[in-house]
Structure 1
Amino acid sequence: MNAVEISDTDRPDPSVTDAIRAAIVSGEFAPNQRLIEADLTGSLGASRTSIRSALFELATEGLVDRLPNRGARVRSVSLDEAVEILEVRIAVEGLCAAKAAERITDGEVDELRLLRAALIESVSAGDLLEYSRLHQNLDRRIREISAQATAVGIIERLRAQSVRHQFRLSFQAGRARVSVNEHVAIIDALIDRDPVAAQAATREHLMSVIEALRSLT
């Protein structure tokens, strides 16, 4: 049997998936908004096949609903569902934090010390966008240092579904000053190579996020 050749134009394009995901997360595409393939093809300069593949992938991540005979739309995640997602993340991200504390190298300790100082400085300066960027970098580095590929895959899918609610929360008055102390506690536990403290600090942070989200209603 001859092998089937797939042209480059038929292959899924990760950059297209990333672009649609970013638009959903940032709120550019609103919950329940229809995602029309022809419109996305024009705005992203991508093939119809790439758009369709991206929408299928985002549906598996829980960001998009595919409707029979009606195309796709942005999935609406309720506050209650966002809280459930965070409760699952407590267990999985706590595991990653504990493993990161066990595995962290001297060079990574130095890196986190610098990141700790930068987080504190960004909040002191009132630069919430920089603070958001830095704490996302911290979350990413903890996942990388943990080397827990299965857990990381679960976390990334869960984060994508609830991130819109947390995006709203990040600009709540006074939230950054609470959050930065929680992130510092996580970093300190990692620097001390204390897996129990790292897991506990991660739990405290995510429980705090849940309480703050509930206060938005």
Structure 2
Amino acid sequence: MPELSPPAPAALAREALRAAILRGEYLPGERLVEAQLCERFAASRFTVRAALQELAGDGLVEMRRNKGAHVRKVSIEEAIEISEVRMVLEGLVAARAAVRVSDGQASELDEVALLMRRAVGAGEFHRYSDLNHRLHALIREIAGHRTADGIIATLRGQLVRHQFMLSLHPGRPQTSLPQHERIVEAIRRRDPKAAEAAMREHIASVIDHLRTLDEVLP
């Protein structure tokens, strides 16, 4: 079997910058200064520019004429539209996960759901947000639908700021916890229709909460 080539420098810079944006190290609307990115990621200007162009294609970065690159802001209206697309795709993924799940993976889902319940009980909502992300990622991993996974990852990246704020919204974790538990239970029962319905119900609830936000997040 031939050896795999190492990732290209542009790909490394792109993924490192993507991760930094998703972690909130660069805020929506913030300018991404090429010289600073070159220094941070030990990359050439050509490499950084290529990475910025690719992230612009993913909807994470906005290229402004004569003003350089900025982290793209997403309005509440656009966040709702993106979530509507996510609802369809993540419903499909949940159904597929219910068909493909192994006993070991079902136990792992149970473990994450239990940790989520404990986080809510302890008022650890930042941890709950991290576990929420982990659960959705595990479901996508079980489903093994590479096309849907790639699209969902891009869509979720555009919503990262909104998702973080929603996780801290009063009462939101208590609302979403039983929704996640229903998703896990349906996948464990190997019931694709119930898994899809539970996932779509969960994303619909996210959309309802987005509508309660009165202004575009900074």
Both structures adopt the same fold (TM-score exceeding 0.5)? yes
1:135 matched to which residue of 2?
A: 132
Within-5 A mapping of 1:31-180: 31-180=28-177
| Matches of 1:132 and 1:166, distance apart in 2 | 8
Amino acid corresponding to residue 176 of structure 2 in structure 1: S
Q: Partner letter of residue 79 of structure 1?
A: I
Partner letter of residue 72 of structure 1? A
- Structure 1: which 5+ runs fail to align? 1-7
Show the 5 A alignment for 1:179-190: 179-190=176-187
Alpha carbons 2:76, 2:213 under 8 Å: kept: no
Q: CA deviation at 1:50?
A: 2.9
4+ long deviations beyond 4 Å: none
Distance verdict in 2 for CA 1:9–1:128, change over 3 Å: closer
| Correspondence for 1:12 | 10
Matched, 1:21 2:15: no
Aligned match of 1:3:
none
> Residue deviations 1:32-87, cap 9 Å, x none?
22211012222343332332222112111101112344321111111000000000
Aligned to 1:197: 194
Q: Is the contact between residue 34 and residue 72 of structure 1 (CA under 8 Å) also seen in structure 2?
A: yes
Percent of aligned pairs sharing the same letter: 47
Secondary structure at 2:211 match in 1: helix
What are the superposed Cα offsets for residues 156-207 of structure 1, whole Å, 9 maximum, x if unpaired?
1111111211111111122111111111110011111110110011111111
Distance in 1 separating the partners of 2:109 and 2:134: 10
CA distance in 1, matches of 2:43, 2:177: 39
TM-score after normalising by structure 1: 0.89
Give the SS at the match of 1:66: strand
Determine if contact 1:21/1:58 at 8 Å carries over to the other structure.
yes
Gaps of 5+ in 2: 1-5
Residues 169 and 175 in structure 1, CA contact (< 8 A), matched pair in contact too: yes
